[in-house]
Every structure is written in C-alpha cells, then in structure tokens.
Amino acid sequence: MRFNTSLAVAGALSLAVLTAGPVLAEPVAESGAAPTAVATTPAPAATKAPEPTKDPAAKAPETKAPETKAPEAKQTQAPAAKKSAQPVKKVTKAAKEQAAEPAITGVTLSSATVTAGQAYEVTVTTSAVADGKRVHVQGFGDPKVALTKDGKAVVPLVAPSDATPGAKTLKVSVEGVATHSSATVTVVEAAKPAIVDAVVSPGLVAPGGNYTVAVSTKDVADGKRVHVQGLGDPKVAYVKDGKATVALTAPADAAPGVSTLTISVEGVETQLKRTIEVGQTIPSTASVTVTPGTVHAGDKVGVRVRSSEPRATDARVTSPAFSGKHAFTLAKGQGEITAATSNDLKPGQYPVTVEIILGERVIATAQTTLTVAAKPVTPTPIVSVDLQLTPGKVRVGGSYLAGVHTDNVKPGTPVVITTPDGKKHTVEVDDFGDAVTRLHVPKDAKPGAYEVVATLPGGQSSTASLTVTQDVVPGADLYLKLSPGTVYAGGDFTAFVASDSAKPGTEVVIADPGGKAVTTKINAHGVAAVRFHVSSGTKAGAYVFSADMERAKKVYATLTVKKRVVAQADGLTPRGGAETGGGRVAAQVGGGTGGFGGVAVGGLLMAAGAGAAFLGRRRRDQV
C-alpha cells in the first residue's frame, strides 16, 4: 500500500507537470516561436493520461498510466519547438518578394520652367518594371503616354498655349505600379521682344541730306523688318544680331525745324520716337585715334578725338570692345580719354566710333579699328634633374659620389636618392641647383649592375647605372666630375673630386688646360668641390681639367664651353695676372684653407690657390 500510495503521488505530480506545460512554453513563444506554441498545446496529452483506468481492477491506483505517459508528453513537446524555424523562412521570402515589387524611382524634367506653348520632356525611371509598360503623365495640358524600356521612359509634353504663369503639378503613373508619383513645372511669361535704343546720326541734316538711324533690339529674331518714317520716304532694314541700321534721305524741300521719327520693328508691340532737325548744317570733319592699336583683352587704350569745328563741345565714343559709352568734353574741338577693354574679349578687330557734338547736335562722326590679340601663353619652366655617379664602377664595400644637377628648382629643394638596397638619402640643392653626397655599397652586396635613382618632390627623376665588382678597380681611387659638363661663356660650373681611401684633409690639385692649378682638401665624407666661373670672353670649345692626389692616379674631365649669342666681357683686372680675360672667383665647397679657392676661365684659363685674393672692378654679364 505504501508503494501504491507513492506511485499515486508520483502520478499526480506527472499530471501536474503535463498540465503546466503550456504555461512553461510561453517564454519560448516570446523568443520568436509563437506560432509553434499555439499549434502544439499539450492539453490532449494530459487527457490521455487517465487511459489505464479502463481496467476496472486497476481503477484505484490511477497513477500508473500517467507515470508511463509522462515521458511521451515531453517528447511531443520538443519536436514542436524545432518546427518553429519554418514560419520564419516564409516571412523572409515574403519580404524579398515585397522588395522586388515594381516601383517609380525618379521623375525629372528637361526644363523646370516653361513658357506657354513650349515643348518639354518628363523622364521617368523605374525598378522591376518590364519593358513595354505604359507610363502616363497628366494634370497639365493633354495627357501623354510612353512605353518603358530598360526601366526608363521619356514622355514628350507641350505646355498649353493659354497656360497662365504659376506652378503646375504633373501626375505620373506606370502600368503595374501601385503607387503614383508627381513633379512640378513652373510656367513663366515669355520674354517679349523690344526696341532698346535708336541713334539718329547726324542730329542735324540739311534739306536733301542723308542720315542714318541705328536701332538696337532685344529678343528679336534675325530677319525681322525695321521701319523708320517721319522725314523723307520710309525705309526698311533687317535685324541681324539684334541690330539694324536704316539709311534715309531728308526731302530736298524739307522745311527747317524738328521732325519726329517713328521706329517700329516687326513683332514688337511698342514703337520708339526720335527727333531730327532740318536746318543749315555746320561743315565739320572728325578723326579718332586709338593708342596702342593692338592690345590684349583687359588692357587699357587711349582714345584721342579731333574735330575741325573748334566750337564742338563734347564727344561720345562707343565700341563693342568697351563697356558702355564714354562721353567727355572737348576743348577747341579736341579731347582724349582712357578706356578699358573687356576682359572676355575674343581676338579680332573691333570698331571704335566717335560722335562730335555741338550743343545737342551730332555734327560729325569718325571711326577707327582696334585689334585685340590673343594673350601670349607663358611657357612653364621645365623642371629637370640629372644624376651622375662617380665612379660608375665600385667594389663591394666601397663608396661612390652621387652628384645631382637640377634646372628650374628653388634652392633648398630636397632630392631623394634611392640606392639599390632600397635606402633613401635626402640632399638639398644649393643656389646653383646642385647637390652631392657620398654613398656606400654594402659589404654583403653581390657583384652586378644596379641603378640609383634621384627624385624631385614633383616626381621628376633621373637614373644612373652603378656596377659593383668584387675586386678593387685599378686606378679608381681618385675621381673628377664637372657639373654641368657643358656651360655657356659667362656661366659657372662645379668640379667635384672624391676618393675612396683618402683621409680627411688630403690635398687634391685641380688644374685647368693651361696648367694653372687650385688646391682643395678632401673633407670627412671623402669629397671636395670647387665652384668655377667661365669668363664671358671665353671661346667656345672643349677644355680638359685634371685632378691629382698623392699616391693616386691622375684623372681627367672635359668641360664644353658654348658661346652666348649676346655677351659682354667681364671688366675684371686680377692681381697676380691672368694672361687674358678674367672672371670672378667662385666659393670653394671642399675643405680648403682659405676663404676662396677657385678659377676663372677666359681666353687661357686662370687658376689661383686657396685663399687667393682677386681685386678689381667687375661688370655683370649682359646675357
């Protein structure tokens, strides 16, 4: 009985657990499996638990059946939770289908403003719309239809001829697209053609005399007729580029006095009135001069006016090259002004017209031509760099001199020299555009051909070849390099010397073709450099320089001198005497003992030792 009682208690607990199943499943429903929780309610499992009571003998201990069925209830609950992922997939698919629905993605107008009767276009872009679908635009004027192609349709429209000014809304719809779109077009009043001005010249005409009326218009098409009537037979001219000049003749029997001229233009609603006086004319001639006659756009010119009538009071100058009219007062029939040309003038010839005025009458006119030339294009200086290696063949572990010469580069500009091992060395050019540095070949470098590159900040570069050898190169312990190797008479150049083995302070003698020598010293980097000046009187040709150092093989370098087209010889008279010519002393870059050490080249080459003083007066080369 105790066993049966315990079993009954256990069965009751199991029944309680099964009955509480839907409550325990609620948190799962909150995590996104709500449909699963509703579909798999465990209520039927709870009702099946009492089935073993069908046996009358076992009716008292009703707990046996629930005890065996309890695990089954838990098993049916687990698969229901796994099925919860299926409805999520259906929702994602539906979302994708919804995203691919046809739609209008944009509406643009060929012109946001139109005038009455003006044609324009509406471009409609779509997404997920098949070709051949109809696109309707309505709401302003006659509705129009176009067919889609590649997701786009262009609908041509015309604003109604009686459209009133203001904003108009266009409704856009596409076949198969649920939503509509819209756009706004604004109707504005069309520009009305008008007569701007009319100039009668001269203002005073004798009976039977000729005169002209120059008419200026706005928004009038070429070919429109211009009528002038009021004095003499009516005449007609035609508009071209907004202007027309009508030539007329006063009647021979015209009575003295003021006549009114009526100017009308075809297509222009309003007319313009001007007056002309008939009377005794004042014979007068005029002239106009423009100085200079050829200018560039934006330049100023002087305009001088002269009249044969000394009583003339004023002058009026007009020209397409100037902005507006320039009026000024005459003194005894003469006057002058300064006028500025427009900055946007195109090259060509422009008329300059002057009207001479006496009182309020134009008594004479004159015209000249002003030429506007194209502005010269200033050539951009070519920036360049040249890299030279001395020597070009170096043993493993040895060193070499990298000399850089630049053109059109500011002093202090950095030059990056990249060696074959990838290292970058930066040097700055001096006032002459030159720079030099000592570089070393790594002791573990492999013999072979390499390249060294010098690069300017602007990207310009120069490449030089370097050959690395295993053994010592005979006779290569002293090197001489002239930079640049070619100069014009009156120019400068630098002699660089370098040594692999020389100690700092070792003297090197640099000699010119005449045997004159200057002594310099190797610095701590194994380099020395001397700046030379070539006299402007030096003849064109090749000059051989030499460099000599104790226990080293003498080396040579050639300087090519070119003659300038225009040159003036230096006026220097040196103490210590050169045989001919003369020139300034250049600063010694290497480790000399004196303040200067250099040579001046002229006729025969002149050399001086370190610390030499050159006295005299010098006139700068005119080149």
**What pLDDT score does 137 carry?**
93
SS3 28: helix
> Which whole number is the average pLDDT over 33-37?
37
Q: Which of 39-48, 299-308, 367-376 has the lowest mean pLDDT?
A: 39-48
SS3 347: coil
Tens-place pLDDT, residues 480-520: 999 998 999 888 999 999 887 777 888 999 998 888 889 99
CATH number of the CATH domain containing 126: 2.60.40.1930
**What pLDDT score does 503 carry?**
79
267 shares a domain with 330: no
476 shares a domain with 457: yes
d(CA 462, CA 404): 9
Q: Where among 347, 373, 399 does a domain terminate?
A: 373
Tens-place pLDDT, residues 166-224: 999 999 999 999 889 999 999 988 778 999 999 888 788 888 888 999 999 999 999 99
Cβ atoms < 10 Å from Cβ of 296? 14
**What pLDDT score does 81 carry?**
44
Tens-place pLDDT, residues 428-446: 999 999 999 999 999 889 9
d(CA 386, CA 370): 48
d(CA 172, CA 153): 11
**Tally of domains in the chain:** 5
Pick from 75-84, 273-282, 307-316 the range whose average pLDDT is largest.
307-316
CA distances from 281 to 209, 378, 512 (A): 9, 54, 88
**What pLDDT score does 554 carry?**
85
Average pLDDT, the chain: 77
d(CA 117, CA 262): 32
**What pLDDT score does 92 carry?**
54
Task: Identify whether the C-beta of residue 597 lies closer than 8 Å to the C-beta of residue 519.
Answer: yes
| 3-class SS string, 584-603 | CCCCECCCCCCCCCCEEEEC
More confident residue, 315 or 141: 315
Separation of first and last alpha carbons in the chain:
135
More confident residue, 593 or 255: 255
CATH number of the CATH domain containing 339: 2.60.40.10
Tens-place pLDDT, residues 542-593: 898 999 887 778 888 999 999 876 544 444 333 333 333 333 334 343 333 3
**What pLDDT score does 98 carry?**
54
Give, as one character, the DSSP assignment of residue 51: G
What is the H or E stretch that residue 497 is in? strand 492-499
- Residue 615 is assigned to a structural domain of this protein: no
486 shares a domain with 440: yes
580 shares a domain with 454: yes
Instruction: Tell whether the model's pLDDT for residue 330 goes beyond 70.
Output: yes
Q: Where among 373, 408, 443 does a domain terminate?
A: 373
Instruction: Tell whether the model's pLDDT for residue 319 goes beyond 70.
Output: yes
**What pLDDT score does 281 carry?**
67
Task: Identify whether the C-beta of residue 579 lies closer than 8 Å to the C-beta of residue 606.
Answer: yes
Instruction: Tell whether the model's pLDDT for residue 87 goes beyond 60.
Output: no
Residue type, 46: A
551 shares a domain with 499: yes
**What pLDDT score does 152 carry?**
92
305 shares a domain with 271: no
**What pLDDT score does 513 carry?**
83
Per the document, the length of the chain is 623
- Residue 118 is assigned to a structural domain of this protein: yes
- Residue 220 is assigned to a structural domain of this protein: yes
φ, ψ of residue 65 in degrees (nearest 5): -65, -45
**What pLDDT score does 603 carry?**
31
- Residue 621 is assigned to a structural domain of this protein: no
Instruction: Tell whether the model's pLDDT for residue 289 goes beyond 50.
Output: yes
**What pLDDT score does 588 carry?**
40
More confident residue, 621 or 279: 279
Task: Identify whether the C-beta of residue 598 lies closer than 8 Å to the C-beta of residue 592.
Answer: no
- Residue 379 is assigned to a structural domain of this protein: no
442 shares a domain with 570: yes
pLDDT confidence band for 59 (50 / 70 / 90) = very low
> Which whole number is the average pLDDT over 290-306?
94
Instruction: Tell whether the model's pLDDT for residue 13 goes beyond 50.
Output: no
Whether the upstream peptide bond of residue 207 has omega within 30° of 0, thus cis, is: no
347 shares a domain with 428: no
**What pLDDT score does 149 carry?**
92
More confident residue, 141 or 622: 141
327 shares a domain with 309: yes
What is the H or E stretch that residue 27 is in? helix 26-28
Alpha-carbon dihedral 90, 93, 94, 95, rounded to 10 degrees: 120
- Residue 232 is assigned to a structural domain of this protein: yes
- Residue 613 is assigned to a structural domain of this protein: no
324 shares a domain with 235: no
Tens-place pLDDT, residues 92-137: 554 554 557 899 999 999 888 998 888 999 999 999 899 999 999 9
Q: Which domain holds residue 368?
A: 286-373
Tens-place pLDDT, residues 396-431: 888 899 999 999 999 999 999 999 999 999 999 999
d(CA 86, CA 33): 10
568 shares a domain with 478: yes
514 shares a domain with 394: yes
- Residue 616 is assigned to a structural domain of this protein: no
More confident residue, 128 or 78: 128
Instruction: Tell whether the model's pLDDT for residue 601 goes beyond 80.
Output: no
